[in-house]
Amino acid sequence: MIRLLSEDDVESWLALRREALLDAPLAFATSPEDEFALDAQALREQLRRAPENVILGAFDEDLVGSVGLHRDRHRKAFHKAHVWGMYVTPSHRRRGLAAQLMSAILEHAAALPGISWVHLSVSSTAPEARRLYDAIGFRPWGTEPEALRHAGRAASETHMALPLDSGRAG
């Protein structure tokens, strides 16, 4: 089941996010040290900013995947939404959950008045995610070399965009 996270899901999401950051440190700009400082109350306040700032969760009794979306807060960029934090726990991969999460988050974005573009960034260490985003119709518009560094390794990030107002064609 895919649904919007509520304040009741905060502790589960924080645990899943910690898992994601430890499991794939070069797939996310945030480090565990940064994220662990995020307390439950701060996340609850973030969730109260729905519908323009949401986290969707995939549940199989427990929370096993999530993806976030936030609308750009600047007036001149208010037509853009940004996908962030896509993660599915290893035990639930290859079941289509990432595609379901992306479909649901794009539906949410499309329902927000005035949103015509959805942006995301994908790490060079996440080729499966890149294939999914390509299949959905996201198109790259730039690559940042060595965008992330961790434990003596570096990863580039490809920035991608999907137009919602033109049939998802790039």
Least confident interval from 7-21, 23-37, 134-148: 23-37
Domain membership flag for residue 15: yes
* CA dist., res. 160 & res. 9, Å (int): 29
The gap from C-alpha 4 to its chain's centroid, in whole angstroms, comes to: 13
Residues 65/98, Cβ–Cβ less than 8 Å? yes
Burial class (CB in 10 A: 0-12, 13-18, 19+), 88: buried
DSSP secondary structure letter of residue 135? H
Has residue 167 got a pLDDT over 50? Answer: no
Domain that holds residue 19: 2-163
Whole-number pLDDT of residue 169: 38
Over the Cα atoms of the chain, what is R_g? 15
Domain membership flag for residue 169: no
Among 79, 85, 72, smallest CA distance to 14 is for 85
Q: What backbone phi and psi angles, to 5 degrees, belong to 50?
A: -65, 150
Among 122, 120, 114, smallest CA distance to 147 is for 122
Task: Please enumerate in sequence order all residues whose Cβ is within 8 A of that of 57, keeping only pairs 6 or more positions apart, or say none.
Answer: 2, 3, 4, 5, 9, 12, 13, 63, 65, 66
Domain membership flag for residue 56: yes
Domain membership flag for residue 170: no
Question: Do β-strands 153-163 and 139-150 pair in parallel, antiparallel, or remain unpaired?
Answer: antiparallel
Q: Could you tell me how many helices (H) and strands (E) the chain has, helices first?
A: 5, 7
Beta bridge pairs of residue 122: 158
CATH code for the domain of 131: 3.40.630.30
pLDDT in tens, 30-51: 887 775 556 788 888 888 888 9
In the chain, the number of structural domains is: 1
CA dihedral (76, 134, 13, 60) positive or negative:
positive
Domain membership flag for residue 168: no
pLDDT in tens, 53-107: 999 999 999 999 999 999 998 989 999 999 999 999 999 999 999 999 999 999 9
Domain membership flag for residue 157: yes
Has residue 145 got a pLDDT over 60? Answer: yes
